[in-house]
């Protein structure tokens, strides 16, 4: 009987350890990978980035209308909304107005795609360093608007110290000026180290290893490899991209790779 109790305690301890220390790989990319590739991607990844509007540099959004297919493939979500660049923000008042308008557009798109209330929508903040007043006005107006619409707000932003800007880390700068706002952070740091490069470890690292201790998601690999940041990363393909296991250059399924503490970081699956 004593042996049985010891085994039960050991099993329970292992279960708790897995729940606390388990992290999950995910991918994101600008272009929808196609329904036929979801099963292959699902063998490695637990969740997918899902754009609500045009991704950076794109004229269309090919993810629109594919939420059900992604969820049916067993994947969770990182829901993304592409934000504005500094050049698009004419003043603090204008930035605030645009932030509110974009928040409304993000909420409408999320509802139209079938994401439930409470889903975390990540604002894609492409520019790094210390945020200027107009950028902060836009970000916080967007966060407030998304929250008021019944969703939760997140920020995708740099976790790399900006060498030309006093080593400011964008995620820390945004958080320090956010006041009481509840914001989830998805940090990008593809420098090796701490990033493993284009890798798909069986035991993914914690988002906190990105250098942003409060990050809930860490993007540690980008396609193509950023030569100015990820120059020490040597395990990318010869063309500079990171390809999902089971695919190759012929399919052009290059991806960005992420780690998170949840298999559904945006909590976007059907309730």
Tally the domains of the chain: 1
Question: Model-level pTM?
Answer: 0.91
pLDDT truncated to tens, each residue of the chain (271 aa)? 333 333 333 333 333 333 346 999 999 999 999 999 999 999 999 999 999 999 999 999 999 999 999 999 999 999 999 999 999 999 999 999 999 999 999 999 999 999 999 999 999 999 999 999 999 999 999 999 999 999 999 999 999 999 887 889 999 999 999 999 999 999 999 999 999 999 999 999 999 999 999 999 999 999 999 999 999 998 999 999 999 998 867 778 999 999 999 999 999 999 7
Beta-carbon contacts of residue 221 (< 8 Å; ≥ 6 apart): 190, 195, 196, 197, 198, 199, 230, 233, 236, 242, 255, 256, 257
16 part of a folded domain: no
Beta-carbon contacts of residue 3 (< 8 Å; ≥ 6 apart): none
- How far is C-alpha 130 from the chain's CA centre? 20
CATH number of residue 145's parent domain: 3.20.20.80
Q: For residues 55 and 31, what is the distance between their CA atoms, to the nearest angstrom?
A: 8
9 part of a folded domain: no
95 part of a folded domain: yes
270 part of a folded domain: no
152 part of a folded domain: yes
60 part of a folded domain: yes
208 part of a folded domain: yes
**Full residue range of the structural domain in which residue 214 is found:** 26-260
Q: Which two tokens stand for residue 78?
A: 């990182």
236 part of a folded domain: yes
């Amino acid at each position: 009987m004593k042996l049985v109790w010891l085994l039960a305690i050991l099993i329970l301890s292992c279960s708790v350890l897995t729940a606390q220390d388990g992290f999950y790989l995910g991918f994101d990319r600008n272009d929808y990978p196609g329904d036929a590739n979801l099963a292959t991607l699902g063998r490695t990844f637990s969740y997918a980035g899902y754009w609500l509007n045009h991704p950076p540099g794109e004229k269309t959004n090919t993810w629109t209308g594919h939420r059900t297919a992604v969820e049916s493939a067993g994947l969770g979500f990182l829901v993304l909304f592409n934000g504005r660049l500094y050049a698009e923000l004419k003043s603090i008042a204008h930035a605030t107005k645009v932030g509110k308008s974009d928040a409304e557009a993000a909420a409408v798109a999320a509802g139209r795609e079938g994401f439930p209330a409470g889903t975390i929508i990540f604002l894609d903040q492409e520019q790094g360093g210390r945020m200027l007043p107009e950028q902060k006005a836009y970000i916080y107006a967007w966060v407030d608007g998304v929250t008021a619409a019944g969703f939760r707000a997140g920020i995708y932003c740099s976790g790399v110290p900006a060498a030309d800007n006093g080593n400011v880390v964008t995620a820390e700068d945004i958080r320090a000026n956010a006041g009481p706002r509840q914001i989830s952070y998805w940090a990008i740091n593809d420098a090796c180290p701490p990033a493993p490069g284009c890798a798909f470890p069986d035991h993914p690292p914690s988002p906190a290893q990105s250098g942003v201790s409060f990050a809930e998601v860490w993007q540690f690999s980008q396609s193509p490899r950023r030569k100015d940041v990820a120059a020490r990363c040597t395990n990318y393909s010869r063309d500079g991209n990171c390809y999902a296991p089971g695919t190759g250059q012929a399919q052009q399924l290059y991806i960005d790779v992420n780690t998170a503490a949840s298999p559904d970081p945006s909590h976007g699956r059907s309730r």
